[in-house]
Amino acid sequence: MTKRMDSRFKPKVKIGSYKDEDIEVKVRKGYKWVDQLPNFWLKDRPWHVGFTGTSCPKTDFLVLIETAPKNLAYRIVLRQYFKELKEQGIKFEHRFIFGRANDDINVELRNNDDVVFGEFTDSYANLPLKTKVAYEYLQSCPSTPKFFLVHDDDTWINLPLMAKRMSEKDGDNRIFGRVRKGEPRGPWAIEKDLATNKTIWAPDYWPMWVAGPCTFMTGNTGILIAETADNTNWVESIPPEDVFFTGIVRLKAGLPNPYEVEDFNPEPTYCIHFKNDLTKLKKKTGYSSQKHIKYVRT
């Protein structure tokens, strides 16, 4: 008997009807991007972070979630959601990525066996290290997964449509997600205290990149990013992890730009970033407290 796709995963309207107005506005305003790296970033500088925790399984679809210790409520919602997806026959394995372990997270690991600890202090400033661990974890898998996804814990994901998109003829060697363009010393970067000086990044624009809350690609593409990152030591003067991995490292790896306007729908159907809104995440995933096995500290 053929299973029907859950209504949450079905496109709302005809594919191809959505245009990324944000990108179009930026183009009209003269936003550009660089397709060539400064010499500083072409030089190899070894980089390894390291991790412990649950080992990587053999799977066709590896899903890694970047999370913070305080966000247990989000992990509870996602674990229930993932359990339901697997009951529907969607095959994948997931892991939550943290910084160094503490007592509460060790308990969570014993209860769930889906936790990975990076060898760094868990903080927002160390998000590039957390993302590096995600790629190192991919490299540790017994066989390369067909598909690879890294997302934030406040993001809803649509695995069936992601797999379908990556299986198309142009799906390999391409990074998918919400495309971004920006300036290393622009108003937003200054406001967020993320401005980068010209010694580290001389151009007035970043490479085109994919926003950090949801980034997906084939496993082979992920391995290429991982191997390139192993020789592209992160410099603390470039805090945005998404710019670094899907912009700078992507260019060094020789991968093409992400598509400027992807075939999203008016309501994005690959993933939705709820920006720390737990209520919206619960609603979208169909979370029910009645189904939840309560987390108990032992």
* pLDDT for res 104: 79
* pLDDT for res 210: 94
Class of domain 19-282: alpha beta
* pLDDT for res 78: 98
**Are residues 199 and 281 in contact, defined by beta-carbon separation less than 8 angstroms?**
no
* pLDDT for res 107: 84
Which residue is listed with tokens 């990556």?
166
> Which residues, 6+ apart, have CB-to-CB distance to 99 below 8 Å?
69, 117, 118, 120, 121, 122, 123, 126, 129, 130
- Cα 249 vs. chain centroid, distance in angstroms? 15
The pLDDT tens digits along the chain (298 residues) read 444 445 555 444 333 333 344 544 554 455 678 888 988 888 899 999 999 999 999 999 999 999 999 999 999 999 999 999 999 999 999 999 999 988 878 888 888 999 999 999 999 889 999 999 999 999 999 999 999 999 999 999 999 999 999 998 888 899 999 888 888 998 888 888 888 888 888 888 999 999 999 999 999 999 999 999 999 987 777 778 999 999 999 999 999 998 876 654 445 679 999 999 999 999 999 999 887 654 434 3
Burial of 36 (0-12, 13-18, 19+ CB in 10 A): exposed
* pLDDT for res 17: 33
* pLDDT for res 20: 40
> Which residues, 6+ apart, have CB-to-CB distance to 126 below 8 Å?
99, 120
CA 84-85-88 angle, 5° bins: 90
E strands, 113-175, in order: 115-118, 147-152, 155-157
**Exposure string (b/e) for 66-93, b if CB count within 10 Å is 16 or more?**
bbbeebeebbbbbbbbbebbeeeebebb
User: CA dist 190 to 61, 183, 187, 199, Å?
Assistant: 37, 10, 5, 17
Picking from 294, 262, 233, 198, the residue whose alpha carbon sits closest to that of residue 18 is: 262
* pLDDT for res 244: 95
CA distance 217 to 80: 24
Helix and strand tally (H, E) in the chain? 11, 9
Q: Residue ranges of the domains in the chain? A: 19-282
For the chain, the C-alpha Rg in angstroms (whole number) is: 19
CA 220-236-231 angle, 5° bins: 35
> Which residues, 6+ apart, have CB-to-CB distance to 256 below 8 Å?
173, 174
